[in-house]
Structure 1
Amino acid sequence: MDEKGRMIDAVDQYIWELPEDIQNITNALRKIILDSSPKLVEEYKWSMPNYSYNGLVCYLQAAKKHVNLGFHKGNELLEKDPNKGLQGTGKTMRHIRITKLEEIQPEAYIALINEAISLNEK
Protein backbone atom coordinates (compact mmCIF):
# COMPACT_ATOMS: atom_id res chain seq x y z
CA MET A 1 0.00 0.00 0.00
CA ASP A 2 1.33 3.47 -0.82
CA GLU A 3 1.83 6.08 1.89
CA LYS A 4 -1.32 8.02 0.86
CA GLY A 5 -3.44 4.93 1.46
CA ARG A 6 -2.01 4.74 4.98
CA MET A 7 -2.69 8.37 5.92
CA ILE A 8 -5.77 8.89 8.06
CA ASP A 9 -8.17 11.85 8.08
CA ALA A 10 -7.67 12.64 11.78
CA VAL A 11 -3.97 13.27 11.17
CA ASP A 12 -4.73 15.34 8.04
CA GLN A 13 -7.02 17.48 10.21
CA TYR A 14 -4.40 17.79 12.97
CA ILE A 15 -1.81 19.04 10.47
CA TRP A 16 -4.29 21.36 8.72
CA GLU A 17 -4.84 23.27 11.97
CA LEU A 18 -1.13 23.97 12.56
CA PRO A 19 0.73 27.18 11.60
CA GLU A 20 2.11 26.90 8.05
CA ASP A 21 5.81 26.51 8.94
CA ILE A 22 4.94 23.83 11.52
CA GLN A 23 2.62 22.16 8.97
CA ASN A 24 5.53 21.89 6.54
CA ILE A 25 7.80 20.27 9.14
CA THR A 26 5.04 17.90 10.31
CA ASN A 27 4.18 16.85 6.73
CA ALA A 28 7.85 16.22 5.93
CA LEU A 29 8.29 14.09 9.07
CA ARG A 30 5.06 12.20 8.39
CA LYS A 31 6.31 11.30 4.91
CA ILE A 32 9.70 10.16 6.30
CA ILE A 33 7.95 7.98 8.89
CA LEU A 34 5.58 6.35 6.42
CA ASP A 35 8.34 5.91 3.83
CA SER A 36 10.64 4.31 6.39
CA SER A 37 8.57 1.13 6.65
CA PRO A 38 5.42 -0.25 5.04
CA LYS A 39 4.75 -2.00 8.38
CA LEU A 40 3.87 1.20 10.23
CA VAL A 41 0.24 2.04 10.92
CA GLU A 42 -0.78 5.68 11.36
CA GLU A 43 -3.10 6.35 14.28
CA TYR A 44 -4.41 9.43 16.06
CA LYS A 45 -4.01 8.93 19.84
CA TRP A 46 -3.43 11.30 22.73
CA SER A 47 -4.27 14.27 20.44
CA MET A 48 -1.35 13.58 18.08
CA PRO A 49 -0.25 11.28 15.26
CA ASN A 50 1.24 7.98 16.44
CA TYR A 51 2.83 5.24 14.39
CA SER A 52 2.78 1.65 15.49
CA TYR A 53 3.87 -1.83 14.55
CA ASN A 54 3.70 -4.61 17.17
CA GLY A 55 3.19 -1.76 19.62
CA LEU A 56 3.95 1.95 19.63
CA VAL A 57 6.98 3.07 17.60
CA CYS A 58 7.00 6.86 17.25
CA TYR A 59 4.83 9.97 17.30
CA LEU A 60 4.67 13.55 16.06
CA GLN A 61 3.92 16.30 18.55
CA ALA A 62 3.57 19.79 17.13
CA ALA A 63 3.94 22.99 19.15
CA LYS A 64 3.92 26.65 18.13
CA LYS A 65 7.66 26.84 17.37
CA HIS A 66 8.75 23.21 16.86
CA VAL A 67 7.74 19.64 16.15
CA ASN A 68 8.92 16.69 18.22
CA LEU A 69 9.60 13.40 16.52
CA GLY A 70 9.19 11.16 19.52
CA PHE A 71 10.06 7.56 20.22
CA HIS A 72 8.12 5.52 22.77
CA LYS A 73 11.21 3.41 23.56
CA GLY A 74 13.67 6.22 22.94
CA ASN A 75 15.80 5.30 25.94
CA GLU A 76 16.70 2.07 24.09
CA LEU A 77 17.70 4.03 20.97
CA LEU A 78 20.27 6.36 22.53
CA GLU A 79 23.26 4.27 21.42
CA LYS A 80 21.86 4.12 17.86
CA ASP A 81 21.52 7.92 17.56
CA PRO A 82 24.63 9.06 15.65
CA ASN A 83 23.70 12.75 15.79
CA LYS A 84 22.81 12.67 19.50
CA GLY A 85 19.53 14.41 18.66
CA LEU A 86 17.38 12.44 21.09
CA GLN A 87 16.35 14.47 24.13
CA GLY A 88 14.19 13.94 27.17
CA THR A 89 14.38 12.63 30.70
CA GLY A 90 11.28 10.45 30.84
CA LYS A 91 11.46 6.83 31.90
CA THR A 92 11.40 5.51 28.31
CA MET A 93 10.37 8.22 25.84
CA ARG A 94 12.80 10.44 23.95
CA HIS A 95 12.27 12.98 21.17
CA ILE A 96 14.09 14.99 18.54
CA ARG A 97 13.03 18.64 18.44
CA ILE A 98 12.83 20.20 14.96
CA THR A 99 12.37 23.95 14.63
CA LYS A 100 13.17 24.42 10.91
CA LEU A 101 12.57 22.34 7.79
CA GLU A 102 16.31 22.49 7.06
CA GLU A 103 17.10 20.67 10.32
CA ILE A 104 15.37 17.49 9.17
CA GLN A 105 17.81 14.59 8.68
CA PRO A 106 15.88 11.90 6.79
CA GLU A 107 18.59 9.22 6.86
CA ALA A 108 19.17 9.55 10.60
CA TYR A 109 15.43 9.51 11.36
CA ILE A 110 14.76 6.51 9.10
CA ALA A 111 17.56 4.58 10.84
CA LEU A 112 16.07 5.40 14.28
CA ILE A 113 12.52 4.53 13.17
CA ASN A 114 13.66 1.16 11.80
CA GLU A 115 15.64 0.52 14.97
CA ALA A 116 12.49 1.31 16.99
CA ILE A 117 10.48 -1.12 14.82
CA SER A 118 13.04 -3.85 15.42
CA LEU A 119 12.75 -3.29 19.20
CA ASN A 120 9.04 -4.15 18.83
CA GLU A 121 9.91 -7.32 16.91
CA LYS A 122 12.03 -8.77 19.70
Structure 2
Amino acid sequence: MSTTPASALIDERIATLGGWRGDTLAALRALLHDAVPNIVEEWKWSNPVWSLDGIVCTGEAYKSAVKMTFPRGAALPDPKGLFNASLEGKVRRAIDFHEGGKLDKPALKALFRAAVAANQAARR
Protein backbone atom coordinates (compact mmCIF):
# COMPACT_ATOMS: atom_id res chain seq x y z
CA MET A 1 0.00 0.00 0.00
CA SER A 2 1.36 3.38 -1.01
CA THR A 3 1.91 6.04 1.61
CA THR A 4 1.80 8.73 -1.07
CA PRO A 5 -1.34 10.88 -0.67
CA ALA A 6 -4.00 10.30 -3.31
CA SER A 7 -3.88 13.95 -4.33
CA ALA A 8 -0.17 13.60 -5.15
CA LEU A 9 -0.81 10.44 -7.16
CA ILE A 10 -3.53 12.25 -9.12
CA ASP A 11 -1.18 15.20 -9.71
CA GLU A 12 1.40 12.72 -10.99
CA ARG A 13 -1.13 11.02 -13.30
CA ILE A 14 -2.15 14.37 -14.78
CA ALA A 15 1.50 15.35 -15.33
CA THR A 16 2.38 11.96 -16.82
CA LEU A 17 -0.54 12.05 -19.22
CA GLY A 18 0.23 15.56 -20.41
CA GLY A 19 -1.43 16.95 -23.51
CA TRP A 20 -5.18 17.02 -23.94
CA ARG A 21 -5.74 13.98 -21.68
CA GLY A 22 -3.89 15.57 -18.76
CA ASP A 23 -5.64 18.89 -19.36
CA THR A 24 -9.04 17.17 -19.49
CA LEU A 25 -8.47 15.17 -16.30
CA ALA A 26 -7.22 18.31 -14.53
CA ALA A 27 -10.26 20.30 -15.69
CA LEU A 28 -12.66 17.56 -14.56
CA ARG A 29 -10.92 17.38 -11.19
CA ALA A 30 -11.25 21.15 -10.75
CA LEU A 31 -14.95 21.00 -11.68
CA LEU A 32 -15.50 18.24 -9.11
CA HIS A 33 -13.87 20.30 -6.37
CA ASP A 34 -15.87 23.36 -7.38
CA ALA A 35 -19.16 21.45 -7.43
CA VAL A 36 -18.50 19.43 -4.26
CA PRO A 37 -15.95 21.30 -2.11
CA ASN A 38 -15.69 18.48 0.45
CA ILE A 39 -15.09 15.73 -2.13
CA VAL A 40 -12.49 13.17 -1.04
CA GLU A 41 -9.73 12.15 -3.41
CA GLU A 42 -8.67 8.52 -3.34
CA TRP A 43 -6.45 6.26 -5.41
CA LYS A 44 -7.94 2.84 -6.22
CA TRP A 45 -7.42 0.38 -9.05
CA SER A 46 -4.50 2.56 -10.23
CA ASN A 47 -6.91 5.42 -10.98
CA PRO A 48 -8.20 8.60 -9.38
CA VAL A 49 -11.42 8.08 -7.42
CA TRP A 50 -13.58 10.83 -5.97
CA SER A 51 -15.87 9.97 -3.07
CA LEU A 52 -18.33 11.41 -0.64
CA ASP A 53 -20.50 8.95 1.27
CA GLY A 54 -19.45 6.42 -1.39
CA ILE A 55 -17.77 6.63 -4.78
CA VAL A 56 -18.97 9.55 -6.88
CA CYS A 57 -16.86 8.72 -9.94
CA THR A 58 -13.54 7.41 -11.17
CA GLY A 59 -11.22 9.01 -13.70
CA GLU A 60 -9.51 6.77 -16.22
CA ALA A 61 -7.30 7.70 -19.14
CA TYR A 62 -7.14 5.77 -22.38
CA LYS A 63 -5.40 6.49 -25.67
CA SER A 64 -8.43 8.14 -27.26
CA ALA A 65 -10.53 9.15 -24.23
CA VAL A 66 -10.64 10.27 -20.64
CA LYS A 67 -13.46 8.34 -18.99
CA MET A 68 -15.40 9.21 -15.88
CA THR A 69 -17.37 6.26 -14.54
CA PHE A 70 -20.26 6.76 -12.11
CA PRO A 71 -21.09 3.59 -10.14
CA ARG A 72 -24.72 4.73 -9.63
CA GLY A 73 -24.98 6.51 -12.97
CA ALA A 74 -28.09 4.72 -14.24
CA ALA A 75 -30.06 6.20 -11.34
CA LEU A 76 -28.86 9.76 -11.91
CA PRO A 77 -30.76 12.44 -13.80
CA ASP A 78 -28.94 13.28 -17.04
CA PRO A 79 -31.07 15.90 -18.81
CA LYS A 80 -28.15 17.04 -21.00
CA GLY A 81 -27.32 13.49 -22.13
CA LEU A 82 -23.76 13.53 -20.83
CA PHE A 83 -23.54 9.76 -20.42
CA ASN A 84 -22.19 8.28 -23.64
CA ALA A 85 -20.50 5.05 -22.49
CA SER A 86 -21.33 1.94 -20.44
CA LEU A 87 -24.98 2.52 -21.32
CA GLU A 88 -25.85 -1.18 -21.44
CA GLY A 89 -25.41 -1.71 -17.68
CA LYS A 90 -28.22 -1.53 -15.18
CA VAL A 91 -26.27 0.42 -12.57
CA ARG A 92 -23.19 2.29 -13.79
CA ARG A 93 -22.75 4.84 -16.54
CA ALA A 94 -19.73 6.64 -17.95
CA ILE A 95 -18.77 9.68 -19.96
CA ASP A 96 -15.98 9.47 -22.53
CA PHE A 97 -14.27 12.79 -23.20
CA HIS A 98 -12.36 13.00 -26.48
CA GLU A 99 -9.70 15.35 -27.78
CA GLY A 100 -11.17 18.71 -28.79
CA GLY A 101 -14.43 18.09 -26.93
CA LYS A 102 -16.00 20.80 -24.82
CA LEU A 103 -16.97 20.32 -21.18
CA ASP A 104 -20.55 21.26 -20.30
CA LYS A 105 -19.49 22.65 -16.94
CA PRO A 106 -22.94 23.40 -15.48
CA ALA A 107 -24.29 19.97 -16.49
CA LEU A 108 -21.21 18.18 -15.13
CA LYS A 109 -21.44 20.03 -11.81
CA ALA A 110 -25.12 19.08 -11.55
CA LEU A 111 -24.23 15.45 -12.28
CA PHE A 112 -21.48 15.41 -9.64
CA ARG A 113 -23.91 16.84 -7.07
CA ALA A 114 -26.59 14.32 -8.06
CA ALA A 115 -24.10 11.48 -7.59
CA VAL A 116 -23.33 12.70 -4.07
CA ALA A 117 -27.06 13.02 -3.32
CA ALA A 118 -27.61 9.44 -4.54
CA ASN A 119 -24.82 8.19 -2.27
CA GLN A 120 -26.31 10.04 0.69
CA ALA A 121 -29.80 8.75 -0.04
CA ALA A 122 -28.49 5.18 -0.21
CA ARG A 123 -26.89 5.56 3.23
CA ARG A 124 -30.19 6.55 4.87
Give the alignment's TM-score, normalised by structure 2. Answer: 0.85
Percent identity, aligned pairs only, is: 31
Aligned equivalent of 2:104: 105
Query: Partner letter of residue 27 of structure 2?
Result: A
Q: Which runs of 5+ in 2 are unaligned?
A: none
Q: Which moved more, 1:10-19 or 1:20-29?
A: 10-19
For the residues of structure 2 that align with 1:114 and 1:85, how far apart are their CA atoms?
14
For the residues of structure 2 that align with 1:61 and 1:110, how far apart are their CA atoms?
18
Secondary structure, in 3 states, of the residue corresponding to 1:17?
A: helix
Structure 2 counterparts to residues 1-122 of structure 1, below 5 A: 8-77=7-76, 80-86=77-83, 87-88=85-86, 89-122=88-121
Does the 8 Å CA contact 1:25/1:101 hold for their aligned counterparts?
no
Does the 8 Å CA contact 2:6/2:48 hold for their aligned counterparts?
no
Does the 8 Å CA contact 1:81/1:112 hold for their aligned counterparts?
yes
Secondary structure, in 3 states, of the residue corresponding to 1:75?
A: helix
For the residues of structure 2 that align with 1:81 and 1:46, how far apart are their CA atoms?
26
Secondary structure, in 3 states, of the residue corresponding to 2:53?
A: coil
Aligned equivalent of 1:3: none
Computed over aligned residues only, the root mean square deviation of the Cα atoms, in angstroms, reads: 1.7
Q: Which runs of 5+ in 1 are unaligned?
A: 1-5
Moved over 2 A (4+): none
Q: Rate the CA distance shift 1:69–1:96 in 2: closer, same or farther, 3 A.
A: same
Count of aligned pairs? 115
Structure 1 residues 88-113: Cα deviation after superposition (integer angstroms, max 9, x where no partner): 12342111111135421111010011
Secondary structure, in 3 states, of the residue corresponding to 2:89?
A: coil
